[in-house]
Structure 1
């Protein structure tokens, strides 16, 4: 299938649209996440590549690894209503939420330890000045 200029994008157009570098896009290509057509030395991206790139970047913002994003994106099945894909996405979101809550608890514990160390250091300094 050949794309026309009306339904294709250059690497620089996508980079500009998503606020990323062309190097980032080439990295995603190297990882097999997107597969543009080639016209000589020129990469030609289809609307499907643009959507995949958008989803990859969304997954990145949500804290998903590239492998997690690929797994979810590759499950796209409009004929099946994307039920499996959506359920997997929900599972990944729940796991990420649990991970972040654990990190939040760890940070709160560390902040309390820092507060305690600060109080002890200030008390020691006060004793030195008395």
Structure 2
């Protein structure tokens, strides 16, 4: 009977293919006010501004692993540290497969210095990818501007169309500018100190007001309308 209560509170950690708590992780700043172990799934989601579904997805990919305290899903401090690395990579748009490869390389790291070098290498690779994408976007934007200029010249004899105006609130303007700067919905939510669902609603309203189909189209149209600088 003496061992009964202890067993009820024991956290059983799964042993997935990438769930090695001894792994050396790079230096990543953890979110403030990290609760003591065990960390409930709701607290984990709030710490990183993500949903429960996203955490389940990372578990399925072997990046983190939840334990159990009775019926409650919980995480250890090692998973919080892992999640900090994952979140850093995801916020710069790093694909899950690349993050999985990074963790596999980290599992062989012998020191924090080596782990930092591996993360730096992954970030530099992503930097090159983003630079190439940015170059493509600028080229396409220039082509759009040229086409619009040609259209304006061809119709110069006609009555100039009225430029579309979009009435946005202050928070919608701020959200639009952060979207244009490449911030994710979760990052914007943390910046505004709002819930992800609330920011998602603001973004959807923006997209509808601007007359776009998605985030990227909304940003492109906002540039063409002069709402944000190109």
Whether TM exceeds 0.5 here: the answer is: yes
Which consecutive aligned stretches of 4+ in structure 1 deviate over 4 angstroms post-superposition?
none
Query: How many angstroms apart in 1 are the aligned matches of 2:57 and 2:40?
Result: 15
Deviations 1:79-108 (A, max 9, x none): x22344333322222221111111121112
Q: Which has the higher contact order (CA 8 A, sep 6+)?
A: 2
Query: How many angstroms apart in 2 are the aligned matches of 1:89 and 1:15?
Result: 23
Correspondence 1:101 to 2:113 = no
Where 2:68 maps in the other structure, the secondary structure is strand
Q: Structure 1 unaligned runs (5+)? A: none
Query: How many angstroms apart in 2 are the aligned matches of 1:113 and 1:100?
Result: 20
Q: TM-score, normalised by structure 2?
A: 0.49
Task: Write 1 or 2 for the structure with the bigger share of helix.
Answer: 1
- Assess, with a 3 A threshold, how the Cα gap between structure 1 residues 55 and 105 changes in structure 2: closer, same or farther: same
Superposed CA RMSD in Å reads: 2.4
Shift in Å at residue 6 of structure 1? 4.4
Instruction: Give the counterpart of 2:92 among 59, 62, 66.
Output: 62
Q: TM-score, normalised by structure 1?
A: 0.81
What is aligned with 2:76? 46
Q: Structure 2 unaligned runs (5+)? A: 1-9, 12-34, 160-230
